[in-house]
Amino acid sequence: MQTLHVELGERRYPIFIGSQLDPQALLAPYIHGKQVMIVTNATVAPLYLAHYEGAVRALGKAVSVCVLPDGEKYKNIEHLNLIFDALLEAGFNRDCTVLALGGGVIGDMAGFASACFQRGVHFIQVPTTLLSQVDSSVGGKTGINHPLGKNMIGAFQQPQAVLADMAQLKTLPERELSAGLAEVIKYALLGDIEFLAWLEAHMDGLVARDPELLAEAVYRSCAHKARIVANDEKEQGERALLNLGHTFGHAVESYLGYGEWLHGEAVAVGMVMAADLSYRMGWISAEDLQRTKKIILRAKLPVICPKIPLDQFLAYMSHDKKVLNGQLRLVLLKRLGQAVITREFDAELMKQAILANQQ
């Protein structure tokens, strides 16, 4: 097992990374109060709920469970309210812990619920997908979607601890594994050219679910995110770099309907669009653009998206959280391994990059 820490002063918390981890031993110091609400979904519950429920009960805690339907389309106010219903019906008080057992949707919703319930209760992340292990479980971003924009309603709510168990990735559908690899590739493109070379050398093993390689990829990805979050918790500056590909990708997700494409699939195409625009602006070479596309394809991810009317694509981009004072900011590549946040881009070249990567 490897352990990282997100350094946020008194709110410092660990990320445990390994295989066949012991939740009873690892989570015992981080469960507050006698009441624990495990929030999970209908896919994860049959696989892992009994194990975690048993571990928490063995610590002498009173456990309740809220099982939500599985899918991005349920990441909304209606299903968020089901968590509040479960907490209130079970008589939970302020001295309790919400444990998120699932992928990014469950982590985001359970975290947001914990931020709101009685104005804030403790929260633990147990991410069961690669995407949530390397990205959404770390850093405290929680929330739900709105028809006009993804993740537009939410709160910063840091967990007490994160437990990322590689053994759980054995049951992950291939498409979900690839979606997680999109976020892994993102860390390399935005800030670590050596990590990109490592991914190029080991992508076949990652796709084949080699547990040691997956643990290394998760560790290196989380290390990048932990450092950035420690420097810029509320995304006032550097943290926005983590949105490489996301402004374009969120437009794809929003237009197609949440859940039609997985988040990582949309981010993959978004990264290609960002790289394409960076190429058109003369920042990266044609070879760099092809290198970006190649590693994404090797992860079994798309590099083009369905045809989306340009005016609608741009309208969804205008609702992005990185719009500031009416101006869209994009995360682009000065070179592979160095991303920047900029308003200084040619709108016509951006339109060309969008259109060039649709079919």
pLDDT in tens, the chain (359 residues): 999 999 999 999 999 999 999 999 999 999 999 999 999 999 999 999 999 999 999 999 999 999 999 999 999 999 999 999 999 999 999 999 999 999 999 999 999 999 999 999 999 999 999 999 999 999 999 999 998 888 889 999 999 999 999 999 999 999 999 999 999 999 999 999 999 999 999 999 999 999 999 999 999 999 999 999 999 998 888 999 999 999 999 999 989 988 889 999 999 999 999 999 999 999 999 999 999 999 999 999 999 999 999 999 999 998 766 666 568 999 999 999 999 999 999 999 999 999 999 99
Q: Respond yes or no: is residue 246 known to be catalytic.
A: yes
Question: What is residue 249's predicted lDDT score, i.e. its pLDDT?
Answer: 96
List domains and CATH numbers for the chain: 2-171 (3.40.50.1970), 174-356 (1.20.1090.10)
Catalytic residue among 41, 145, 151, 243: 243
75 is catalytic: no
Catalytic choice (79, 220, 239, 322): 239
Q: Which of 119, 325, 344, 348 is catalytic?
A: 119
pLDDT of 50 reads 98
| pLDDT at residue number 7 | 96
- Amino acid 319: pLDDT: 78
**Is 122 among the residues known to form the active site?**
no
pLDDT for the residue numbered 325: 58
Write the Ramachandran bin of 227: left for phi over 0, alpha for psi from -120 to 50, otherwise beta: alpha
Helix (H), strand (E) at residue 330: strand 330-335
DSSP 47-99: IIIHHHHHHHHTTT-EEEEEEEPPSGGG-SHHHHHHHHHHHHHTT--SSEEEE
In the prediction, which pLDDT does 259 show? Answer: 81
The catalytic position among 72, 183, 253, 265 is 183
Q: Which is the catalytic residue, given 141, 150, 186, 293? A: 141
Residue 322 has a pLDDT of 62
pLDDT at 126: 98
What type of residue is 285? S
pLDDT value of position 216: 97
d(CA 168, CA 216): 15
Catalytic entry in 79, 220, 246, 280: 246
* 7 counts as catalytic: no
Known catalytic residue at 32: no
* Marked catalytic residue, from 53, 176, 235, 253: 235
SS3 content of the chain, % helix, strand, coil (to 5): 55, 20, 25
HSE (CB half, 13 Å, CA atoms) of 56?
28
User: Is 235 one of the catalytic residues?
Assistant: yes
Enclosing H/E stretch for 250: helix 246-256
